[in-house]
Amino acid sequence: YQVAILPYTIDTKGLLDKIGVIKDYNFVFEEYDYTLIHGYISQDDGTDLVAANRILYDVIGTNVTNADNWMYLGSLYNNLSSDSGITLYAVDVTNTQIKETEEIEENQNKVKFNFLDSSKVISTDDMLFLAGFLRLFNYFYVSSLK
């Protein structure tokens, strides 16, 4: 099974501000493109959330141990005949110290972490990225109505 992580920041008005993404190589189009942080759950991980934090740490170099910062966004499937879901988490990294890429980069194959303005997300071609963002956006929209 896989897990995907959608880091985000909130602005001073409580709205989604930035979305954390990685640049990964698309072998079909032979170019780099933005996608969610993702990885596989190992047998050493006690829960999916432990796996998500481990995978996030590998990319940003910081543990986000406060459970209040994490939000389960559900499981996604890449097609209707799949029995292997992708567990999706969002994590608020607004007040999290993220190490610079140079500090955590040990080799040339390290994925590149960036923040995108949340308004740019809808232009992505990555369905996992778009679905995760829409679920997170829906949470903020519904919360703002209350």
Q: Beta strand pairing status for 86-92 and 2-10? A: parallel
Residue pLDDT, tens place only, 72-95: 999 988 766 667 789 999 999 998
Transcribe 106-122 into DSSP letters. -STTPPEEEEEEGGGGG
CA neighbor of 131 nearest in space, from 81, 91, 75, 83? 75
Indicate the DSSP class of residue 85: -
pTM of the shown model = 0.85
Residue pLDDT, tens place only, 120-142: 888 887 888 888 999 999 998 88
Alpha helix (H) residue ranges in 1-126: 48-60, 101-104
